[in-house]
Amino acid sequence: MKYKDGVIMACDTGASYGSTLRYKSVERIKEVGKHSLIGGSGEFSDFQEILRYLDELTLNDHMWDDGNSLGPKEIHAYLTRVMYNRRNKFDPLWNSLVLGGVKKGPKGDEKYLGMVNMIGTHFEENHIATGFGNHMAIPILRGEWREDMTFEEAVKLIEKCLLVLLYRDRSSINKFQIAKITTEGSTIYPPYALKTNWGFAAFENPSKGAVGTW
């Protein structure tokens, strides 16, 4: 999501093999060029393929050596074409991608946040979630997000969303990574765990009051 100074992103570090949480230290947020961060959910091997495309794109851009560099808006536009092209070949890249960044423009520092899914549907927003977060985190963000949030306030809101998702998804993992990007550059922080409380009555006796349960 956007905050006062830039864009903040977060994800867990789990990768599943079917219903098995096979890998527990997978980093799914990466830098793209000088001005952008990308986060990906879905098929991890397809995400690696997309990162190879982006490496090629940014290298080609750097080789022009013309004093310009691709910003988040241009990279997002490129990704929408890639995803839609693969969808039209009936061989989609099975991902939802979030692209955020900050670049100086005619109106000063311009924050950008956009997403594109596996069939090429894309949009820009102030806050974005993919996967399970689309259902559970977006209502929280709509209710509590503000444009003038500090980084600390943004982290607290992101952690609230992550905790809600962790409690409700058995395939999730309590190991998260946060990243931010501002005009000064990008920072991807080391993974860490959130403090949890499993002592809620509904957790201890989930079948109480539910008709027809064992």
Q: Which domains does the chain have, with CATH numbers?
A: 2-204 (3.60.20.10)
Which pLDDT belongs to residue 205? 79
Reported confidence tier of residue 214, pLDDT bands at 50, 70, 90: low
Q: How many angstroms separate the CA atoms of 121 and 80, rounded?
A: 7
Burial zone of 46 (CB within 10 Å; 0-12 exposed, 13-18 middle, 19+ buried): middle
Mean pLDDT for 56-67 is 93
pLDDT of residue 156: 97
* Cα(189)–Cα(126) distance, integer angstroms: 22
Q: Is the pLDDT of residue 184 over 90?
A: yes
> DSSP letter at 132?
T
Share of the chain above pLDDT 70, in %: 99
pLDDT in tens, 81-114: 999 999 999 999 999 999 999 998 888 889 999 9
pLDDT band at 210 (very low <50, low <70, confident <90, very high): confident
DSSP annotation of 27 reads -
The one-character DSSP state at 174 is: S
Amino acid at 91: D
How many Cβ atoms from other residues are within 10 Å of residue 28's Cβ?
Answer: 20
Q: What share of the chain is helix, strand, coil (3-state, %, to 5)?
A: 35, 30, 40
Which pLDDT does position 107 carry in this prediction? Answer: 81
Nearest Cα residue to 160 out of 178, 147, 148: 178
Per-residue pLDDT, 203: 76
Over 70: is that where the pLDDT of 74 sits?
yes
CA distance 202 to 107: 51
| Burial bucket for residue 133 (CB in 10 Å: 0-12, 13-18, 19+) | buried
Higher pLDDT, 157 or 212: 157
pLDDT tens digit sequence for 3-60: 999 999 999 999 999 889 999 999 999 999 999 999 999 999 999 999 999 999 999 9
Which pTM value belongs to this model?
Answer: 0.90
Is the pLDDT reported for residue 202 higher than 80? Answer: no
